[in-house]
Amino acid sequence: MPSDEDLMAAYVAGDAHAFQELFRRYSPLLLRVLKREMSSSEQVRDLVQQTFLHLHRSRLDFELGRKLRPWIFTIALNLKREYFRRGKRRRETSLDQEGAPEPAVAPRGQERADAVRELAPALAALPEDQRQVIELHWFAGLSFPEVAQTVGASVSAVKVRAHRGYVALRRELGANESTLPGNQDARPGVRELKEP
Amino acid sequence: MSLSCSDLRDAFLQDELPQGPELVRHLDACSECRELCGEGAELGRGLSALVASEQSESDSLRLEPPSLAGEHGVRALLRSRPTYARVALLIALTALITGLSFALNGRDLRDAPMARVYGVVLVYFAGFWFAARRGLLGAAEPGYQHHVRALALASLAVPIAIALLGGSMSAKDGGPAAGLGCFVYGALLALPVVAAFFWLERADRPPAGAFWLVAALSGFTANLVLELHCPSQHLVHLLLGHASVGVVVLAAALAFRAARGMRES
């Protein structure tokens, strides 16, 4: 299977099918990240389409040898930011928070359903820079170096944001213990993971 | 083999958590993943459940790729050029306008302080290049709209600073009377740059920063043209007739944008 970068190179060279394939690969990921804070699925669809239209217009700026994934998410997040800036739209409650979502994976149980119910609003309430990093890492599947490229920050800055976001989320989930790095008591879960 | 943060995330997503010394080593070094794994890995499991729940929801939304049928013609060709080429086109246009204006309507430079003229022209071209590059970067660049207003304001201040530094109130330098003529001349010759900028801009709806930067670009163009057209060094003339062009274009651009926003809302 060709890599994303191979497809992009083919597209720059004029292969229209490569564009379709890139759309097929990336539109679900973009949907997942863009739909947060949007009030209607129509707006999300429009943003995804705008992202690909911009990718088309910017295709000659894509440097071969560069990773496509951070590039495409940079476009998407910039367009989303511009969408909110234009007309000073208020960020809405995430589409998936409308009516307390149930996790789709039933076997994970009630405990998981509770976690989702608590996490979705807690994630939405995080400061934008922290939320963005966590969303890109978890929902778009980007590594921290790729997240750093996407948001135009250093890897260490991105990891600090993720750490702060995780601490805030854990606080929301009811974990009151301090989890400062180096605190051995802060890692009870490690023991549990090692001894299932 | 060492474990990365992404490996641990993927393991959570697949509900197959790694164990053993690799995990311990990673968690010893990574405070982020320690947060995910603390308290019975409550956060890691919660986030993976949230991702799973949203995955099925996103997959249910059917999407069609955007139509590229409209991406033909001169404008489509121009705005799909690489950023350096679009910036070069804009600079070439300004150079052409300035050159033609000087050839047809230029001032007599024989008695002019050439070091100052060259210096000012160089500053305006450098400022133009910088503002054009920022304005045409596009959404594929992280933070492409960061600080554009501050940059535009600084650009608009350059002609004002040059006027304040080099202007005089001496009557022999020509008075403010001809200021309106210079303003109209400079503004008219800057208009093609405004039009070209929006032709080269990739977004169908240009971002707010584009309106600020286009004012800076028109200010640079007008002042370039006027530097080689008008010999006046009168401070009031320079401020009202030359440096004001960018400021007025900014006011007009913002008014246009506000009117469009009101019409749409």
Closest residue in chain B to residue A160, using alpha carbons only: B32
What pLDDT sits at residue A190?
44
More confident residue, A84 or A110: A84
What pLDDT sits at residue A110?
66
Q: Which of left, alpha, beta for A177 (phi over 0: left; psi -120 to 50: alpha)?
A: beta
Weakest-pLDDT range from A58-62, A85-89, B70-74: A85-89
Confidence label for A89 from pLDDT (cuts 50, 70 and 90):
low
Q: Verify whether the Cβ–Cβ distance B61 to A41 is below 8 Å.
A: yes
- Rounded CA gap, A132 and B211, in Å? 27
Does residue A97 carry a pLDDT above 50?
no
pLDDT over 90 percentage in chain A: 49
* CA distances to A187, B37, B44 from A194, in Å: 11, 11, 15
**Tens digit of each residue's pLDDT (9 = 90 or more) over B16-40:** 877 788 888 899 999 999 988 887 7
Using DSSP's 3-state secondary structure scheme, residue A95 falls into helix
Confidence label for B238 from pLDDT (cuts 50, 70 and 90):
very high
Does residue A182 carry a pLDDT above 70?
no
| ipTM for the predicted complex | 0.85
What pLDDT sits at residue A176?
38
- Rounded CA gap, A53 and A33, in Å? 18
The verdict on B78 touching A (C-beta cutoff 8 Å) is: no
Q: Which of left, alpha, beta for A67 (phi over 0: left; psi -120 to 50: alpha)?
A: beta
pTM of the model: 0.83
More confident residue, A183 or A76: A76
The verdict on B51 touching A (C-beta cutoff 8 Å) is: yes
Closest residue in chain B to residue A169, using alpha carbons only: B43
**Tens digit of each residue's pLDDT (9 = 90 or more) over B162-220:** 999 987 777 676 777 788 999 999 999 999 999 999 999 999 888 889 999 999 999 99
Pair of tokens at residue B260: 């469009």
Which residues on adjacent β-strands are paired with residue B168? B234
Rounded mean pLDDT of A14-30? 92
Confidence label for A191 from pLDDT (cuts 50, 70 and 90):
very low
Q: Which of A41, A86, A188 sits opposite B39 (nearest CB)?
A: A188
Pair of tokens at residue B50: 């949230």
CB-count exposure of residue B250 (10 Å: 0-12, 13-18, 19+):
buried
**Selection from B142, B141, B12, B71 nearest residue A132 by Cα:** B142
**Tens digit of each residue's pLDDT (9 = 90 or more) over B60-107:** 667 888 888 888 999 999 999 999 999 999 999 999 999 999 999 888
More confident residue, B262 or B188: B188
Strands (E), B18-177: none
Confidence label for B112 from pLDDT (cuts 50, 70 and 90):
confident
Q: Verify whether the Cβ–Cβ distance A57 to B80 is below 8 Å.
A: yes
Does residue B221 carry a pLDDT above 70?
yes
What pLDDT sits at residue B251?
95
Describe chain A by its helix, strand, coil percentages, rounded to 5.
70, 0, 30
What's the full length of chain A, in residues?
A: 196
- Rounded CA gap, B216 and B200, in Å? 16
**Selection from B140, B161, B136, B117 nearest residue B214 by Cα:** B136
Q: Verify whether the Cβ–Cβ distance A101 to B57 is below 8 Å.
A: yes
Sign, Cα dihedral of A89, A91, A96, A97: negative
Q: Verify whether the Cβ–Cβ distance A138 to B51 is below 8 Å.
A: yes
Alpha-carbon torsion angle A185, A189, A194, B3, nearest 10: -100
